[in-house]
Amino acid sequence: MMMKKLNILTALIVVFAFGLVSLNTSCKTPESITNKSGAQLWGENCMRCHNIPPATIYGDDKWDVVGEHMRMKANLTDTEINKIVGFLKSAN
């Protein structure tokens, strides 16, 4: 019984340590994102699911709301959505 508890505890420690290592390496934004402009990211991410209305259809405050919604829905990073929303705002 004691050995079983020790094995479970060891397994939990390993899983926890792996999780910490994963978090530490996943925080860095990949170069494939940082090297792209908002226009490129917009074309690659937004156009794959639907046709986009012209950027002038919304004001800056509305693009912030749309950007936050689409960040969650399309699983985009903060860097990606900030670049995309910045590009869309620049068209106004």
Domain extents in the chain? 2-90
Sequence-separated (6 or more) residues with CB below 8 Å from residue 58: 66, 88
| CA 41 vs CA 2, 29, 46, 54, 86: distances in Å | 54, 14, 8, 16, 11
Give me the pLDDT at residue 47, please.
82
Lowest mean pLDDT among 6-10, 19-23, 72-76, 82-86: 19-23
Distance of alpha carbon 91 from the chain centroid: 23
Q: Evaluate whether 70 touches 81 at the Cβ level (below 8 Å).
A: yes
The model's pLDDT over 10-50, given as tens digits with 9 standing for 90+, comes to 655 666 655 555 554 455 666 767 789 999 998 888 888 87
